[in-house]
Amino acid sequence: MVDVIIAGGGPTGMMLAAELRLHDVDVLVLERDEAPHPAVRSLGLHPRSIEILDQRGLLERFLAHGQRYPGAVGHFAAIDSPAPPDLDTTHRYVLGIPQPVTDRLLAERAVELGARVRRGCEVTGVAQDEDGVDVTLADATRLRSRWLVGCDGGRSRVRRSLGIGFPGEPATTEWVLGEVRSTTPPDELARVSAAVREQHRGFGIGPAGDGLHRVVVPAASVAEDRTVPPTLEELRTQLRAYAGSDLGVHSPRWLTRFGDATRLAERYRAGRVLLAGDAAHVHPPLGGQGLNLGIQDAVNLGWKLAAAVAGWAPAGLLDTYATERRPVAQDVLTLTRAQSELLLPEPGPQAVRRLLTELMRLEDVNRLLAERIAGTAIRYDLGPGPDLVGRRLRDVRLSRGQVYALLHDGRGLLLDRDGTLSAAGWADRVDHVVDRSEELDAPGVLVRPDGHVAWFGDDQEELHASLARWFGAAEPRQDRGAAGDQSIRPATM
């Protein structure tokens, strides 16, 4: 029996597989497609996702394939506004990187850590009992696992097999997207694109490298079957409708379509089956938040599911995945739907857009929207306590390095300024580092594996309660107090 089967080998599934493998969980990823899809649906990573890559020691490989765009942080509805200069992160930029590259790097990481990946395997049925989950594939093969996570997209077969509702709004607008060649000179394409975008901000065409151009244009209508890709003639027809010419497009590398449907799963968990990424939420593409939201789902879920597999998860830990992440998805749905409305050419939405453009000149309004898009404003409701509790800890500098370098293994972290605290009973799950930071005025901070602060203070009894809440029962024989704390490790990095 496999510990965890992940249905879907996109960025959410591969990030989750890597997170689980950090804790030696036996993971099998089942991906429907025989080969990675070349479609570039996402073009970048926001600051919170960049922080997550940094927490896991992966950022350098992504930076090698991407380009930093400091001015693109927090752009709301394509309104031209400056990025807040004091955004609370050391990564004040959007990392421009095509989704196929992100997919490949995350898949490589999962396999490096020992995840097994099987392509051409479509999940068609799910049944579960108290001890595990039976997964049926399209070729009638049956597999069994202790847990199943559906990361299989907006039309998730896993979600439908469980009968989990997916309420929301169907798509009312659709776009055709692709990479094509063109006989029109690049400077003329740029001129046409700028002119059309004055009235239709959902239109665009620009260089994509290798002589290709990335084009996006509103479709004539919402397709009855979005699994059927658009044709080159459909793209040419819509270009003529919006730009007055088909711009000489030919030889498409790929074509796809996407819409503005907004839906949120009623539940993220049913027994031993969980949902993550687009299987749990779909929304308009404005702001490029879909891939980022899925990666962040995976990092929240990974260590909690690993704890359940290992047997040390405290009561209710796995359920905090839904209570923490579902409100975040709800917020993203609100933001993206609002941006979609502001792109409509009708007089009403354009009047609201002009008003919001003025409001965004106010520093507080601009920062509020930027932080929500960047993902740095997220604060999980972990109960009463200082404002830092529930928020992710940015990469503060310690006397001997950076705090994110201490999170590479996906374990908890007790950062102890004076060496007076103890996490001895949790040494197999939590690293205890004695070090101080001028950027963090705190005697002690307990950081969860996902980078969010679980506790803040100097009271050992409160610390023990928080350790038990998030990391299960202590091992009594390890609990020797601060002086003999076996969890303490050097902070040298």
Q: How far are the Cα atoms of 87, 90, 367 from residue 83, in angstroms, in the given order? A: 8, 14, 8
pLDDT in tens, 317-340: 999 999 999 999 999 999 999 998
Task: Kindly give, in sequence order, each residue whose CB lies less than 8 Å from that of residue 402, ignoring residues fewer than 6 positions away.
Answer: 395, 396, 493
Which of the 8 DSSP states describes residue 212?
Answer: E
384 domain residue, yes or no: no
Q: By mean pLDDT, which of 78-82, 309-313, 431-435, 450-454 is the weakest?
A: 78-82
> pLDDT band at residue 137, thresholds of 50, 70 and 90?
very high
> pLDDT band at residue 485, thresholds of 50, 70 and 90?
low
Say which residue, 97 or 385, is predicted with more confidence: 97
Percent of the chain with pLDDT over 70: 97
> pLDDT band at residue 483, thresholds of 50, 70 and 90?
very low
Predicted confidence (pLDDT) at residue 478 exceeds the cutoff of 70? no
Domain boundary among 221, 240, 259: 259
**Same domain, yes or no, for 270 and 144?**
yes
Domain harbouring 207, CATH code: 3.30.70.2450
Domain harbouring 37, CATH code: 3.50.50.60
**Same domain, yes or no, for 357 and 282?**
yes
**Same domain, yes or no, for 363 and 462?**
no
Which pTM value belongs to this model?
A: 0.95
pLDDT at residue number 488: 67
**Same domain, yes or no, for 142 and 273?**
yes
Say which residue, 487 or 371, is predicted with more confidence: 371
**Same domain, yes or no, for 36 and 163?**
yes
The pair of three-digit structure tokens given for residue 455, joined into one six-digit string:
């506790």
pLDDT in tens, 156-205: 999 999 999 999 999 988 999 999 999 999 999 999 999 999 888 889 99
493 domain residue, yes or no: no
Domain boundary among 323, 341, 374: 374
**Same domain, yes or no, for 252 and 301?**
no
pLDDT in tens, 249-277: 999 999 999 889 999 999 999 999 999 99
Map tokens 């996702």 to a residue: 49
**Same domain, yes or no, for 117 and 131?**
yes
Q: Which helix (H) or strand (E) holds 169?
A: strand 168-169
379 domain residue, yes or no: no
**Same domain, yes or no, for 162 and 307?**
yes
**Same domain, yes or no, for 148 and 241?**
no
Task: Kindly give, in sequence order, each residue whose CB lies less than 8 Å from that of residue 153, ignoring residues fewer than 6 positions away.
Answer: 8, 10, 277, 278, 279
Domain boundary among 226, 259, 292: 259
**Same domain, yes or no, for 121 and 55?**
yes
Predicted confidence (pLDDT) at residue 492 exceeds the cutoff of 60? no
d(CA 332, CA 283): 8
Residue range 25-29: mean pLDDT, rounded: 98
pLDDT in tens, 54-89: 999 999 999 999 999 998 887 888 888 888 888 999
- Would you tell me how many other CB atoms lie within 10 Å of the CB of residue 237? 17
267: burial class by Cβ within 10 Å (0-12, 13-18, 19+)?
middle
Which of the 8 DSSP states describes residue 354?
Answer: H
390 domain residue, yes or no: no
d(CA 250, CA 242): 17
Residue range 21-43: mean pLDDT, rounded: 93
**Same domain, yes or no, for 425 and 410?**
yes
392 domain residue, yes or no: no
490 domain residue, yes or no: no
385 domain residue, yes or no: no
pLDDT in tens, 447-470: 999 999 999 999 999 999 999 999
Q: How far are the Cα atoms of 52, 392, 444 from residue 413, in angstroms, in the given order? A: 15, 13, 10
pLDDT at residue number 225: 85
Task: Give the total number of structural domains in the chain.
Answer: 3
pLDDT at residue number 479: 45
381 domain residue, yes or no: no
Contact 60, 120 (CB under 8 A): no
Rounded to 5 degrees, what angle do the CA atoms 270, 272, 273 make?
60
pLDDT at residue number 490: 60
**Same domain, yes or no, for 54 and 154?**
yes
Residue range 400-416: mean pLDDT, rounded: 97
d(CA 196, CA 45): 27
d(CA 257, CA 259): 7
pLDDT at residue number 80: 84
pLDDT at residue number 487: 58
Domain residues for the domain of 213 are 174-259
Domain harbouring 472, CATH code: 3.40.30.120
DSSP 283-333: ---TTS-HHHHHHHHHHHHHHHHHHHHHT-PPTTTTTHHHHHHHHHHHHHH
d(CA 415, CA 394): 13
pLDDT at residue number 482: 47
d(CA 328, CA 335): 11
Percent of the chain with pLDDT over 90: 84
Contact 181, 64 (CB under 8 A): no
Predicted confidence (pLDDT) at residue 211 exceeds the cutoff of 50? yes
Instruction: Output the average pLDDT for the chain.
Output: 93
